[in-house]
Amino acid sequence: MEPRLRRGELYKCQEKKGEDEVKVLAFFEYCPEDFEKCVEKFRVAMADRATGSTKFPKQVFPTHGVGGEYKTIVIYEDPTDEQLNNVAIHYMPEMKMRFIPLIDAQKFIEQYFKEKKK
């Protein structure tokens, strides 16, 4: 079973510990008939980013299509809950999305063995 982390709690925990910035993998899915609406919303979001606005999270892996499907992925760096909400609100109702925090495997393994010794 995949562990479920609430995004806000993970962000607050790492902020307190002074850990590295959180990276979040975002999956988007849309219907073919909504393609043009999604493209227009994408252009608006990219134009907003180009002005230096922080309304949307910083992308460290830009939006990519998933081979012939009506899906895209992007990786955000250190997004706030408000920024993720802004993304969701901006693309609703045409796109469904899922945000997954990425955990550094090396740091997780180190922490695991450290905690296991207690």
What domains appear along the chain, each with residue ranges and CATH number? 7-116 (3.30.70.1060)
Alpha-carbon dihedral angle through residues 57, 65, 95, 60, given to the nearest 10 degrees: -10
pLDDT at 13: 43
How far apart (Å, rounded) are the C-alpha atoms in residues 101 and 78? 10
Consecutive 10-residue averages of pLDDT for the chain (118 residues): 46 49 94 96 96 96 94 96 97 97 92 90
Burial of 83 (0-12, 13-18, 19+ CB in 10 A): middle
CA dist 77 and 22 (Å) reads 6
Neighbouring CB atoms inside 10 A of 22's CB total 21
The pLDDT of residue 100: 96
pLDDT for residue 36: 96
Pull the structure tokens for residue 52: 């230096």
pLDDT at position 65: 95
Asked if residues 87 and 57 have their Cβ atoms less than 8 Å apart, the reply is yes
**Using CA atoms, how far apart are residues 94 and 75, in angstroms rounded to an integer?**
20
Looking at residue 21, its pLDDT comes to: 82
DSSP 8-state assignment for residue 56 = S
